Structure 1
Amino acid sequence: MPRVSVIMPVYNNAAYVQEAIQSILNQTYTDFELIIIDDGSTDGSAYLVSLVTDPRVKKVFHQENKGLVFTLNEGLDMATGDYIARMDSDDHSVPERLSIQVSYMDDNPSIDLCGSAITYSIGRNAKINPVHHEEIKAWLLFHCCICHPTVMMRNRMINRLGIRYDVNYPHAEDYELWDRLASQIQMTNLPINLHYYRLHDGQVSNQHKVMQAYSVDKIHQRQFSRLGLQLSAEENQIMHDLIHFRVNHMDYNSYTRALGFANWVLEQNRIHQVYNQEMLNMVFSRCISVLPY
């Protein structure tokens, strides 16, 4: 039985899928299975997947497209490793990725989920995501700060909690899962680049912006309900300005509205104790000061 199960859904990524697969097969850590699930591709991706002969690869082919959430959950059902790693079919993992994450998880048994920094293109600086659990949890009120294809999770945690991706949050199913898990497990992002994340027109974030935004809004509503809050249209707009670092310091009204909103939410958090107060205050300060992580 392999120590790591890597789940790679594929849908119409013929231009990139071979590179993505090879980046896993070329890992310096070799005790893994690669579960590739082609979800009814129509561009030749399935044929390219069928050519892979490495015995560590398990291949599933859907005759019709069933959607990413179905495919991810199918991968979770198939995974037999101690650890489950995610991989997208249009990205590239560095050769040491699995080795570094397995070593970290072995050495830190209290951590159930481990992501990493990412690089959007070769030659650019790595984007380092929030590292420590309470920092991650606080930022999750604002952003999905764990990059899905960098994640490694403990299989026993997934089985213990009965974890599956939720079909009710299309195109933000990862963000919903991290938010759901944040109060139940310990998470981290390693501050080193383990993954090259490809930007292209065919990405979900480009093709399904409206539906993704709707799902993200639902997640935010759930988060604020834990604080005993239901935001008005005006308060939602202030939150969106904070999320997108659009607070105008030269506009007194914009600045004071954002500051008042932050203080209101922080007071509610003192009552409900959902987030670490110091971390939540830090995140609000960075959003108001336009200082992304």
Structure 2
Amino acid sequence: MKIFRTSWYLLKDLLKDILHALPFVPYRKPSKRRKVWNRVRERRFLRRIDAIYLAHRDSVDAIEVSIVMPAYNRAFCIHKPIAGVLNQHHTNWELLIVDDGSTDGLASLIADKYNDGRIRYFPTEHLGVSHARNHGLERARGKYIFYLDTDNAWYPSYLRTMIVFMDYGGLDACYAGARIINDGNETIGYFGERFVWAQCWELNHIDINSFGHRKDVVGKGFRFDESLNRLVDWDFILALTANHRTAYAPFLGVEYYDGEKGSRITFTRYEGERVEELKAQIQNKHREMLNLPNTSARQLRPSWREALRHGEMANKG
């Protein structure tokens, strides 16, 4: 029975790729959350990533990445995400903690607790999460940039897996899956959908904590929109991925907190805003990109197999 179940998952995964490659065949509408996680696909993906890493260990380890962490009065919970960064298998990173005008002693806590030259602390005025992230972006030095909010955490293999996938797959951006937990650390669902830009435009299903991109993409003028009060991550991801090669990495890299303790940084100041109106505003802003030709879409939004196949061909060349 176990062999049959595994074979069925493999066949179903293959059929998805075949159908998605055909023109005018709609991809399954994504959901905000999944109830179950495809462990078979994850294992297959990670085996490929591990093989690539072992073959190119020195070059991968030499890649510096930047992590932008905005924080506003988060002294009570910032230890867990920082610990997740410190425990990463990939150690060539810089963590840019951008303090959005905290009044809870966050500055002294960082100075006293973390004596690590890779951690850089930047105090700013209280101007919101978008300004804080942009402040970090402008000072980032790594080849790739990642984002981590103070109520979430990464699993140890996250950075290395994402770096190998982007660097070897010739990607400009990618995102991983996430395990969603509540206050009791119980799993209540998962984030993780294959990337189709039009579906992302319809439903915000990519979390910024599981998203990374090349730094040189930011050099083209991409920033978080400081005029938006909510949904800033969605707006940024839609803008950046519209014309850049992006793919989904089907592994669990992030522990995403969805409980009641404290307020998430993106919601702290703007809980009363009418989200539906803002959603329509963002969709209108990016609507013209829905007409992107199908051939270009296949090049810009490959499956993970296509991305790694691209890397294999480039490596042979």
- TM-score (norm: length of structure 2): 0.65
Residue of structure 2 aligned with 1:174, choices 233, 258, 271: 233
Is the 1:7–1:85 Cα contact (8 Å) retained in structure 2? yes
> Which AA in structure 2 matches 1:79?
A
1:115 positional shift:
1.1
State the distance in 2 between where 1:14 and 1:97 align. Answer: 24
Tell me which residue corresponds to 1:21.
82
> Which AA in structure 2 matches 1:115?
Y
Q: Aligned in 2, Cα 1:47/1:86: closer, same or farther, shift over 3 Å?
A: same
Matched, 1:67 2:125: no
Q: RMSD of the alignment, in Å?
A: 2.4
Tell me which residue corresponds to 1:154.
214
Matched, 1:120 2:183: no
Tell me which residue corresponds to 1:211.
273
State the distance in 2 between where 1:209 and 1:142 align. Answer: 22
Is the 1:170–1:212 Cα contact (8 Å) retained in structure 2? no
Q: Deviations over 1:93-116 (max 9, x none)?
A: 11111111111112111x111111
1:2 positional shift:
6.1
1:205 positional shift:
4.2
Residue of structure 1 aligned with 2:146, choices 85, 91, 109: 85
Q: Deviations over 1:131-170 (max 9, x none)?
A: 23xx2x02122222211011111011221x2211111222
> Which AA in structure 2 matches 1:124?
T
Q: Aligned in 2, Cα 1:42/1:169: closer, same or farther, shift over 3 Å?
A: same
3-state secondary structure, aligned to 1:211: coil
Aligned residues with identical type, % of pairs: 24
Is the 1:37–1:71 Cα contact (8 Å) retained in structure 2? yes
State the distance in 1 between where 2:104 and 2:65 align. Answer: 29
> Which AA in structure 2 matches 1:56?
R
Higher deviation after alignment, 90-99 or 37-46? 37-46
State the distance in 2 between where 1:212 and 1:61 align. Answer: 30
Is the 2:67–2:145 Cα contact (8 Å) retained in structure 1? yes
1:30 positional shift:
0.3
Unaligned runs of 5+ in 1: 228-268, 280-293
> Which AA in structure 2 matches 1:173?
V
Q: Deviations over 1:44-78 (max 9, x none)?
A: 3333222211111111122x312111111111110
Higher RCO (C-alpha 8 Å, min separation 6): 2
The 5-angstrom pairing of residues 1-293 of structure 1 reads 3-51=64-112, 52-62=114-124, 64-109=125-170, 111-121=171-181, 122-124=185-187, 127-132=190-195, 135=196, 137-159=197-219, 161-199=220-258, 200=260, 201-203=262-264, 204-205=266-267, 208-211=270-273, 213=275, 214-224=277-287, 226=288, 273-274=291-292
1:123 positional shift:
4.4
Count of paired positions: 227
1:179 positional shift:
1.6
- TM-score (norm: length of structure 1): 0.70
1:212 positional shift:
6.4
Tell me which residue corresponds to 1:284.
none
